[in-house]
């Protein structure tokens, strides 16, 4: 309970700021008599949510499924590349620059190509999420593996530990915090990646919902969908944080005791 209360105190200023921002938004739009199709007030966005609450769960489920599946493969690819980069100097010199260059290619450019190559099914959506999510996971995990305590590695080896034992007892615990740091970044962008992919063509999903709302000039529904996307992304990010706390109980203990 103490941890939950601490989290609430930590995020209460941001929550208060959002409440004030929404109030100012509502007052400004109504005071200046801004057209609804340009900038709907938050109350109208809420009404749009109530009107569409029956169809939203299916769209959310589709987008979240694409994001989670893509994030899973991003973890597999990212951890695999991190292991290669950390263990083989040649792989580090070859793969690391390629990883950096790959992030300079805009996803919006790749999305239409993936739709042409793989159709409008699940595959291109998952691939977009993988392309967005694997980079921070690979880079952070590799840094965690390469920055492991060399003296600890030497000590464990001097005691007769095998490569597998060194990996399990030293390298993996050292890389876990970095892995979750990269996973949090990947999770934050996974839903956005799925939505971008759905713009290129889909039968369901929040990206399709936004496209249809745009064609119907329903700005209130677009704002509502943006809020839903943000909430789903936050939920995924917080879920990774909770998973990290479960996987690293020693860090939680150190924080609670002040490191003593």
The whole-number pLDDT of residue 7 equals 60
Please, are residues 77 and 133 in contact by the beta-carbon 8 Å criterion?
A: no
Q: What is the mean pLDDT of residues 56-81?
A: 92
Burial of 101 (0-12, 13-18, 19+ CB in 10 A): exposed
pLDDT per residue as tens digits for the range 150-160: 767 677 677 76
Q: What is the mean pLDDT of residues 177-183?
A: 88
Burial of 5 (0-12, 13-18, 19+ CB in 10 A): exposed
The whole-number pLDDT of residue 258 equals 44
Please, are residues 148 and 174 in contact by the beta-carbon 8 Å criterion?
A: yes
Q: Is the pLDDT of residue 253 over 50?
A: no
The whole-number pLDDT of residue 250 equals 64
Q: Is the pLDDT of residue 255 over 50?
A: no
Give the tokens for residue 87: 């263990």
Sketch the domain layout of the chain as residue ranges: 58-250
Least confident of 10-19, 189-198, 216-225: 10-19
pTM for this entry: 0.81
Q: Is the pLDDT of residue 124 over 60?
A: yes
Q: What is the mean pLDDT of residues 207-216?
A: 88
The whole-number pLDDT of residue 12 equals 75
- Range among 5-9, 154-158, 182-186 with highest mean pLDDT value: 182-186
- Assigned fold of 58-250: MetI-like fold (1.10.3720)
Q: What is the mean pLDDT of residues 35-64?
A: 87
Give how far Cα 52 sits from Cα of 34, 41, 73, 191, 192, Å: 23, 17, 32, 20, 21
The whole-number pLDDT of residue 244 equals 84
The whole-number pLDDT of residue 165 equals 66
Q: Is the pLDDT of residue 33 over 60?
A: yes
Give the tokens for residue 236: 């995924």
Nearest to 199 by CA among 132, 68, 109: 109
- Between CA 142 and CA 96 the distance in angstroms is 10
Q: Where are the alpha helices (DSSP H) in the chain?
A: 2-31, 42-52, 56-87, 89-102, 107-118, 122-146, 150-158, 163-166, 172-199, 206-215, 219-247, 249-256
Between 227 and 108, residue with greater pLDDT: 227
Please, are residues 183 and 137 in contact by the beta-carbon 8 Å criterion?
A: yes
Q: Is the pLDDT of residue 67 over 50?
A: yes
- Between CA 146 and CA 34 the distance in angstroms is 56
- Catalogue the long-range contacts made by 9-15 (C-beta closer than 8 Å, 24 or more residues apart): none
- Between CA 126 and CA 108 the distance in angstroms is 14
């Amino acid at each position: 309970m103490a941890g939950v209360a601490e989290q609430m105190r930590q995020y209460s200023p941001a929550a208060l700021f959002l409440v004030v921002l929404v109030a100012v938004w509502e007052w400004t739009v109504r005071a200046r008599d801004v057209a609804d199709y340009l900038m709907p007030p938050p109350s109208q966005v809420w009404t749009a949510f109530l009107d569409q609450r029956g169809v939203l769960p299916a769209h959310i489920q589709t987008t979240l499924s694409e994001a989670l599946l893509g994030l899973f493969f991003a973890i597999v690819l990212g951890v695999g590349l991190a292991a290669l980069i950390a263990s083989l100097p040649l792989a580090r010199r070859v793969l690391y620059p390629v990883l950096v260059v790959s992030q300079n290619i805009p996803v919006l450019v790749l999305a239409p190509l993936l739709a042409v190559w793989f159709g409008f099914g699940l595959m291109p959506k998952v691939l977009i999420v993988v392309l967005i999510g694997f980079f921070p996971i690979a880079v952070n995990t590799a840094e965690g593996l390469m920055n492991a305590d060399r003296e600890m590695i030497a000590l464990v080896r001097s005691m007769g530990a095998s490569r597998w034992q060194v990996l399990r007892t030293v390298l993996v615990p050292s890389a876990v915090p970095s892995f979750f740091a990269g996973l949090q970044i990947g999770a934050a962008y996974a839903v956005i990646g799925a939505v971008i992919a759905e713009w290129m063509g889909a039968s369901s999903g929040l990206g399709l919902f936004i496209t249809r709302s745009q064609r119907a000039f329903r700005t209130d529904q677009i704002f509502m969908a943006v809020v839903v996307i943000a909430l789903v992304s936050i939920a995924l990010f917080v879920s990774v944080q909770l998973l990290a706390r479960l996987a690293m109980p020693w860090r939680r203990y150190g924080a609670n005791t002040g490191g003593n």
